[in-house]
Chain A
Amino acid sequence: MAEGNALDGDAPYVPRQFTVNDRTFPNTSNDPFGYVSIGVGTSCYISIANQGSMDHVLHFHGFHVEVLQASKHPERVGWIKDTMPFLVGEVTVVRLDAFQPGMYPVHNHNLIAVTNAGLYPGGMITHLDIQP
């Protein structure tokens, strides 16, 4: 574009940046709006929306979560999962029961999306901070 070239509508989609709450790792983990922080023995609801242009799949370390709502996978309500897809435009709510303390990554398991402009680690990685 900077060179004045025309846009090629047939060019393959090659995303280079992947964000959680508008942040890329490591900023996700440095900003209280980028990660989940709760006390051990408590529960929380986590709402996840895929506003991107490709499907994503999130993996929770340390925990399974219960699917309470999944707008494009209604059959999955009640499933207990540690890895789940989020289709383009999907809105999901899960419940996390924080039974053990520690720092646990939550990240995209489509591993091209845990990079910043091609560098690992980056992109769609954040974490659960389960306080003792």
Chain B
Amino acid sequence: MYRTLLFACSVWCMSHAALSQALPPQLFSEMDGIHFLDDGSSVPIWGYGWVTDGYITLPGPLLTYNEGQAVDLNFTNPSPESHTIHLHGLDVDQANDGVPATSFLVPTNGDAVYSFVADQSGTFLYHCHVTTTLHLTMGMYGMILVKRPDQTLFDGGPAYSEDVPLLFSDLEVATNLDPVGSFPFHDIRPDVFMINGISGSKLEEEDQMVWAAPGDTLALRLGSMAYSRVRCHFPPELHATCFMSDGRALPEAFAVDSLDVFPGERFTVLVAPEEGFDGVVSCEFWNMIDPGVEDVQEIRFGATPSSVGSAEPFLLKQGYPNPADQWHAPGGIEGGFAGEVVVRDLQGRECFRGYLEGGRFDVSSWPEGAYVARCGNLPPTRFMVTH
């Protein structure tokens, strides 16, 4: 069966004016994402993504700044409800705090700029502060790293080789399936427990493992947006030492074998794995209300040359806008566009780069699924390929 996909000129042009000012990195929020669980099922998510990527992820993109940097964080909200960005732990002023009652809401189709100075190195978080109990469990959160150019943890602190961001979170499937009907909120009892948005066997995949070359000192950037208390167990072969918490140096670093990370807390733990170490940091997710271990997830370490594995877990393209309510184009749409078009698939792999001939291109040989097409600086367009 032969299907073609055509681009509607009107869709591209309509948003051109709005995008001309969106050239600096800009976050957006959407409420039509889907997130795949370890068992292959999917749940709806709300979340953040880069405008230039065009999709949201769980967790949201990792934001990285330099110590002392004056930051203007651009944000736009095309989603059907109001959202904010709270910069958790950055001690920003009231105007930029992202709390609806004391700062401001970003309504549907609204834009905002959050301005602050990242004056302390360390690990921080961001999340939506609108109906926080619900918007957080739906996925509206991410991690912020403030780094020093000299690759030390803090002024006078130890040097290290690489950052390993590890963000704990959880969700209750029933809530995500029916966020409107999720009342009462005190009943949220998570049943999916995640590290960087993934869990179970997916954490064993090579691109999710932590790779350490001999002599490497890795900075584990632990943070939690969970509803659970997370207890991490560090095997002695890692020689784990805790140096920082909540973006501040501790008065005295201490060797750590187990560490509790409560919701909203952050820790920086340096590990120097012994040569050939091939083990895990196990992370128990404890129920905060009826204390007991709900689940255990494992951060897997491996020993390879340091060129393998860049420890960039947030680059995994998992969360995704629901393509079905964007362009589902079985019959094609009339129109045309002159610029170069780049199309990527669900995993962010480039599938097509080139110009459309006669306003269309052939997708008949492509696998069924969802794709994002970008053209220059225009907003991305999502579409489905079906056969």
By a beta-carbon cutoff of 8 Å, the part of chain A in contact with chain B is 12-16, 54-55, 57, 59, 61-64, 75, 78-85, 100-105, 109-115, 117-121, 127
Contacts and interface: CB of A to CB of B under 8 A. Distances in A.
B93 A109 contact: no
A38 B372 CA distance: 52
Contacts of B187: 14, 112, 118
Contacts of A78: 250-251
B93 A57 contact: no
A84 B88 CA distance: 13
Contact of A62 (B91, B184, B227, B291): B91
B247 A82 contact: yes
B290 interface: yes
A111 B97 contact: no
Contact of B132 (A16, A81, A114): A114
Residue among B91, B229, B262 with most chain A CB within 10 A:
B262
Given A78-B251, A81-B248, A121-B132, 10 more contacts: A12-B289, A57-B265, A61-B86, A78-B250, A81-B245, A82-B246, A100-B94, A102-B93, A111-B185, A112-B186
8 contacts: A55-B291, A62-B94, A64-B91, A82-B88, A82-B89, A104-B97, A113-B186, A118-B186
Given A13-B290, A15-B289, A110-B227, A62 B188 contact: no
Nearest to B226: A110
Interface in B251-293: 251, 254, 260, 262-266, 288-291
Contact of B246 (A13, A64, A104): A64
B133 interface: yes
Given A12-B290, A82-B247, A114 B133 contact: yes
Given A64-B246, A78-B251, A118-B183, A102 B102 contact: yes
Nearest to A85: B262
Contact of B184 (A12, A114, A115): A115
B378 interface: no
B186 A115 contact: yes
Interface of B: 86, 88-89, 91-95, 97, 99, 101-102, 131-134, 136-137, 183-188, 227, 229, 245-248, 250-251, 254, 260, 262-266, 288-291
A85 B184 contact: no
Contact of B99 (A15, A63, A105): A105
A120 B179 CA distance: 14
A16 B184 contact: yes
A83 B265 CA distance: 5
A16 B186 contact: yes
A108 to B, nearest CB: 9
A100 B265 contact: no
Given A82-B246, A83-B264, A115 B185 contact: yes
A113 B136 CA distance: 14
Contact of B263 (A14, A16, A81, A110): A110
Nearest to B124: A82
B131 A120 contact: yes
Contacts of A15: 186, 289
A109 B224 CA distance: 10
What are the nearest 4 A-B pairs in CB distance? A118-B184, A102-B94, A109-B264, A83-B264
Contacts of B227: 110-112
Given A109-B264, A118-B183, A80 B99 contact: no
Residue among B94, B133, B183 with most chain A CB within 10 A:
B133
Contact of B89 (A79, A83, A102, A127): A83
A62 B97 contact: yes
Contacts of A109: 262-264
A111 B136 contact: yes
Contacts of A75: 254
Contacts of B250: 78-79
Contacts of A100: 91, 93-94
A111 B263 contact: yes
B185 A119 contact: yes
B156 to A, nearest CB: 15
A68 to B, nearest CB: 12
A120 B263 contact: no
A106 to B, nearest CB: 11
B94 A104 contact: yes
Contacts of B89: 64, 82-83
A105 B186 CA distance: 20
Contacts of A79: 245, 248, 250-251
A80 B188 contact: no
Contacts of A127: 102
Contacts of A55: 229, 262, 288, 291
Contact of B91 (A12, A54, A63, A111): A63
B102 A103 contact: yes
